[in-house]
């Protein structure tokens, strides 16, 4: 059981380049999320999805795009990379905790460290 | 809008002692969930404990307990009998309880260093 898998783990981009961070989960979770974590800070929500074909913006969506064509995959696209997008990116998926109505415990991937120079 | 505040940027704790990590929150939602995550130096996010706003009893999970004071809007994490492996960043987070997924809002974190 792999859980949430993110690729690549590390990437260096030049300003203006584009790339896609891949995320896949094998737990059949409906909900998936992308967060970014800047150095010494907490995580901020970029985009989320409540199911295949449905996505919505989070707190910091500018400069990113997502798609959700399958339950398993939730790629994050960076267009025209900027130094401000240097961060660690976490993909997560969630389920409803046993016996806890309304609790969606997020399972996170290992993170992708992106540097834009 | 929701906001999570963790006022302790860093803490030292002696091995085998207990430590309390502070977390206060602000929300206009009537029903919400509070979470604590651990982030060791390796970087992964590990779920520790959950408390629902409607729960009358404080949540406990092994050595972790959540001191939930709804009127004060606080959800402090207590780690008992600290171990060297507890050295990590700890994040408090919350989300409204809704049917279509929960979007976590995180605090800035508290770094804990356990001394032998």
pLDDT digits (tens, 9 = 90+) for A26-82: 999 889 999 999 988 899 999 999 889 999 999 999 999 999 999 999 999 998 999
- pLDDT at residue B59, as a whole number: 93
Residue A96 or B90, more confident: B90
Confidence at B99, pLDDT banded by 50, 70, 90: low
Tell me, rounded to whole angstroms, the distance of Cα A50 from its chain centroid: 13
Q: Does A98 touch chain B (CB under 8 A)?
A: no
Share of chain A above pLDDT 90, in %: 79
DSSP per position, A92-105 = EEEEEPTT-TT-EE
CB B45 within 8 A of CB B61: no
- pLDDT at residue B92, as a whole number: 97
- B42 vs B88: CA distance, rounded Å: 9
Burial B72-91 (b: 16+ CB within 10 A, else e): ebbbbbbbeebeeebbbbbb
Q: What is the DSSP letter of A30?
A: S
Q: CB within 8 A of A69, min separation 6: which ones? A: A52, A53
Question: Least CA distance to A112: which residue of chain B?
Answer: B43
CB B73 within 8 A of CB B24: yes
Burial B9-48 (b: 16+ CB within 10 A, else e): eeeebeeeeebebbbbbebeeeebbbbbbbbeeeeebebb
A42–B97 CB contact, under 8 Å: no
- pLDDT at residue B1, as a whole number: 79
The string of pLDDT tens digits covering residues B13-61 is 999 999 999 999 999 888 888 999 999 999 999 999 999 898 889 999 9
Tell me if the bond preceding B106 is cis, omega within 30° of 0: no
With 60 as the cut, is the pLDDT of residue A91 above it? yes
* CB-closest option in B45, B102, B108 to A41: B108
The string of pLDDT tens digits covering residues A96-117 is 655 555 567 889 999 999 999 9
Q: Which two tokens stand for residue B103?
A: 């979007």
- Beta-carbon neighbour count of residue A1 at 10 Å? 4
Query: Long-range contact list for B65-69, CB < 8 A, 24+ apart?
Result: B66/B34, B66/B36, B67/B20, B68/B34
* CB-closest option in A40, A48, A106 to B47: A106
Tell me, rounded to whole angstroms, the distance of Cα B106 from its chain centroid: 10
Q: Which two tokens stand for residue A9?
A: 């783990």
SS3 A55: strand
Tell me which chain A residues have a C-beta less than 8 angstroms from the C-beta of B35.
105-106
With 90 as the cut, is the pLDDT of residue B73 above it? yes
């Amino acid at each position: 059981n792999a859980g949430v898998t993110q690729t690549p783990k590390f990437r260096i981009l030049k300003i203006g380049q584009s790339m896609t961070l891949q995320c896949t989960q094998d737990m059949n979770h409906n909900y998936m999320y992308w967060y970014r974590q800047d150095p010494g800070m907490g995580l901020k929500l970029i985009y989320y999805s409540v199911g295949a074909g449905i996505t919505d913006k989070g707190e910091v969506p500018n400069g990113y795009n997502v798609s959700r064509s399958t339950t398993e995959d939730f790629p994050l696209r960076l267009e025209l990379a900027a130094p401000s997008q240097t961060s660690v990116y976490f993909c997560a998926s969630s389920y409803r905790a046993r016996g806890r109505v309304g609790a969606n415990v997020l399972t996170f991937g290992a993170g992708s460290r992106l540097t834009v120079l | 809008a929701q906001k999570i505040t963790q006022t302790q940027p860093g803490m030292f704790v002696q091995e085998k002692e207990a430590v309390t990590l502070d977390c206060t929150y602000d929300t206009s939602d009537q029903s919400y969930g509070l979470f604590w995550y651990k982030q060791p130096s390796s970087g992964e996010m590990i779920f520790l404990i959950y408390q629902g706003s409607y729960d009358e009893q404080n949540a406990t999970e092994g050595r972790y307990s959540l001191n939930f004071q709804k009127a004060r809007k606080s959800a402090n994490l207590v780690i008992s009998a600290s171990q060297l492996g507890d050295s990590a960043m700890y994040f408090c987070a919350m989300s409204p309880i809704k049917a279509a997924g929960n979007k976590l809002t995180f605090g800035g974190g508290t770094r804990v260093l356990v001394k032998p």
